Amino acid sequence: MKETFLSAKFVTPSLIRMTIMSELPFTRPSAFLEIDGVPGRKIEPSRVTSLQSLSVIDYILDKPIELGHSFIIAIPNYGRSPVNVTELTESPWFNDRYTYDGDDLGATFSDDGVSFAIWAPLASRVILHYRKDREKKFEMVLMERTFRGVFRAKLQEKEGPIEYYFSITNNECTVRAVDPYAKSSSANGKTSFAIDFSKLEHDFSDRCLPRLQSPTEAVIYEASVRDLTISSYTDIVHKGTFVGLAEKGRKTLSGKLPAGLDYVKSLGVTHLQLLPIYDFKTVDEEHPLASYNWGYDPAQYFVPEGSYATDPNDPYSRVNELKAMVKAFHEQGIRIVMDVVYNHVYEYITHNLEKVLPNYYFRKRYNGTMASTSGCGDDLATEKPMVRKMILDCCKWWIDEYGIDGFRFDLMGIIDCDTLLKIKDYAKAKKPDFLLYGEGWNMGGDVNFPLGHMGNYRLLPDYGFFNDFFRENAKRYAAGELDAMNALKNAIISSSLDFIVPRHFLNGTQSINYVECHDNETYFDWLSNRYSNMNEDEKLKRVELANNLVLFSFGIPFIHMGQEIGQSKFGNGNTYNSGDRENKFSYRLLEEREEMYERFKKAVAFRKKAKLLHLYDPSTIANTMDVTDFDGAIRLFYLDQNFIAPKKQVSIFYNPSNRPLSYGEPIKCSASYVSCGDNSEQEKSHTVKIPAMSIVYTED
């Protein structure tokens, strides 16, 4: 009909709101509701609002609808329109009626076949497309709608892999979607694969991992699979892959220094935190070297990233190779921390979750617009029951099926606290020394429930937070900016005491101490940009001082890949898609700065054996420590109160100046550790000599 447009939606389960734009004279039209193509009962308008050429009409039904059907409203003289049901996901009625707590979503193998289950409560129809042989066409099965909007189908196939996808009809619109609970896929997530995980490797050599009594015993090293292995200056065979990172005995091309797995092992760190290893969107898995991305744009939460697999179209490749990589590190006594992104996706409107269930998975502001708190994409509505369930199921999967030992939560301040606590309950029950930490920035957002930012540290006692208070003051102090000294005194003792400034945390296990991570400039570049007259030799010494501030402070030390040798990103502060030149670990530079590498290893080794630095209780730290300063240097002084026996006293001196200092208090001290030069035991003396830009740890 000329210049007439209809639009209808369910506002509540029993209220339809129709909008008519028409040049026709307005009447109070009766309507007919068709359900699944069957002509329905006549319904009368309950309220009408009319302007020139625009009418909004409400129709109240005599009983609430049941989702899972096709709804068409027909108005004589005006036409027919599908009734959109997506707004019903905003109603408490939806959660009460359709939240599902079963553990069988996805594809599940059993003795009598494989079952498929997908939660799609708005859908009127779901078709499973599947094939066992990739040379054949897909077959189709109409899935049965069951309890709480879960669609199901079962095949007699008893072995995988089975390739599949879904056709889902929401609001009379049919789209193709992959399984949100898929555990493997073809390249670039075009199709899902069902494989029987009970027949795959499950021995992750956890017996090789020494039990941690406290998170403060950890030393975390951050890198990515690709960055650690892509360099042409090593003999790593499978560069940029899980397999390449698991290769043993690899070296720099000169044969002088270790590479890949052996390099990480040589550092002495306890944990390797890997940038995203789940399936992300912006790297073509069939041509991985044609582009670069860190991977903070999640596509499939349960699926390992295909660009890190040797064959992204083989559903077993990415799975088995990641499992083997985790096992290889465990055999060396190194735990794997997985960087997870449960706060946002790059763009909700094209995301698979939105295709499966429109208007549910993503958070909105009070005004109804999509929330993009991070500025990096659309926020996940982690507070919703089925989003929380998906996240918790995902975390369980990575722990149980891949042996993961910790989660680093990207922009944790966007995730609700209840979800984080449920993850903690499961992770700690499985592995008591499981590490949980994240970016606790308070990014705001229109919500009325607590989020996982640092301001809520008391609600999350088992979570660590990246300590930007430590970061900013350590960077400045290590650069020689003495006005940062007093604030740094608080940061050095874990930011968990009301000392000089108010506390930030409950205890030292919550403080992730760092000066550099994958975000922003490297510390070398920060110095270069801030101090144009500083020569390279001084910058490298100050990088070492900053590294040692991280290692010789209370809390959990965190080191970014390349930080140990003062690596640069050529001044680029945001290299998420810049390429290998800016992001790869430079093994050539490692050889050039071998002495820095050797000193870093000694510092890590000393941190691990210095039990005093593992203290985390603020009252214990307060009762054993005194902080003073002299000539711009900081001295931490510890008296033995049975915490550090058999030593009677320990001092740590931090000297950021470009000249050596002496501390002449009449006590006998021997230097157990000096951050530059010779670290061997020195002759006892009444005077402690602290070299320029260094840290000295003394005991008596």
* Secondary structure string (H, E, C) spanning 376-389: CCEEECCCCHHHHH
CB 469 within 8 A of CB 456: no
Give the end of a domain, one of 84, 117, 133.
Answer: 84
- Decide if 403 is inside a domain: no
Number of domains in the chain: 3
Q: What is the mean pLDDT of the chain?
A: 94
Residues 130 and 57 in one domain: no
Instruction: Calculate the alpha carbon distances from 234 to 260, 590, 635 in Å.
Output: 9, 11, 42
Give the per-residue pLDDT at 51: 81
Phi/psi of residue 240, nearest 5 degrees: 75, 20
Residue 653 lies in a domain: yes
Q: Do 40 and 103 belong to one domain? A: no
Distance, in Å, from the CA atom of 258 to the CA atom of 332, rounded to the nearest integer, reads 14
Do 98 and 173 fall into the same domain?
Answer: yes
Contacts of 608 (CB under 8 A, 6+ apart): 217, 219, 268, 270
- Let me know if residue 220 belongs to a domain: no
Query: Is cis: bond before 64, omega within 30 of 0?
Result: no
What pLDDT does residue 683 have?
53
| Pair 15, 74 in one domain | yes
With a cut of 70, list the residues of the chain below it in pLDDT: 1-2, 24-26, 640-648, 665-670, 677-686
Q: How far apart are CA 474 and CA 491, in angstroms?
A: 8
Contact between 656 and 477 (Cβ < 8 Å): yes
In a domain, 139, yes or no: yes
DSSP state of 276: -
622/692 same-domain check:
yes
First to last CA, the chain: 94
Please write the tens of the pLDDT for every residue from 127-137: 999 999 999 99
Instruction: Tell me, yes or no, whether 186 lies in a domain.
Output: no
Selection from 499, 547, 502, 507 nearest residue 523 by Cα: 547
The residue segments making up the domain with residue 160 are: 94-177
Task: Compute how many other C-beta atoms are within 10 angstroms of the C-beta atom of residue 601.
Answer: 15
Flag whether 162 is in a domain: yes
CA separation for the pair 595, 589 (Å, rounded): 11
Strands 125-131, 139-142: pairing kind? antiparallel
Please name the amino acid found at residue 451.
Answer: L
In this structure, are 100 and 72 located in the same domain? no
Q: What is the CATH number of the domain that holds 77?
A: 2.60.40.2320
Give yes or no: residues 77 and 98 share one domain. Answer: no
Interatomic CA distance for residues 631 and 677, integer angstroms: 22
Residue-level pLDDT at 680: 45
- In the listed set 177, 198, 214, which residue is the last one of a domain according to the structure? 177
Q: Do residues 677 and 695 both lie within one domain?
A: yes
Residues 114 and 171 in one domain: yes
Q: What residues are annotated to the active site?
A: 410, 439
Residues 77 and 48 reside in one and the same domain: yes
Q: What is the pLDDT of residue 457?
A: 98
The answer to whether 235 touches 241, Cβ cutoff 8 Å, is no
Please name which of 122, 6, 1, 12 lies closest in space to residue 59, comparing C-alpha atoms.
Answer: 12
Is pTM, for the whole model, over 0.75? yes
Residue spans of alpha helices (H) in 552-643: 580-583, 587-592, 594-609, 618-624
CATH number of the domain within which 151 lies: 2.60.40.10
Q: Which helix (H) or strand (E) holds 337?
A: strand 335-340
Give the domain CATH number at 657.
2.60.40.1180
Residues 66 and 105 in one domain: no
Q: Which residues of 227-240 are buried (b: 16+ CB within 10 A; e: fewer)?
A: bbbbbebbebebbb
| Domain end point (choices 177, 198, 232) | 177
State phi, psi for 263 to the nearest 5 degrees: -70, -45
Asked if residue 649 belongs to a domain, the reply is: yes
Q: Is residue 691 part of a domain?
A: yes
Q: Of all helices (H) and strands (E), which one includes residue 7?
A: strand 4-12
State how far the Cα of 590 lies from the Cα of 282, in Å rounded to an integer.
30
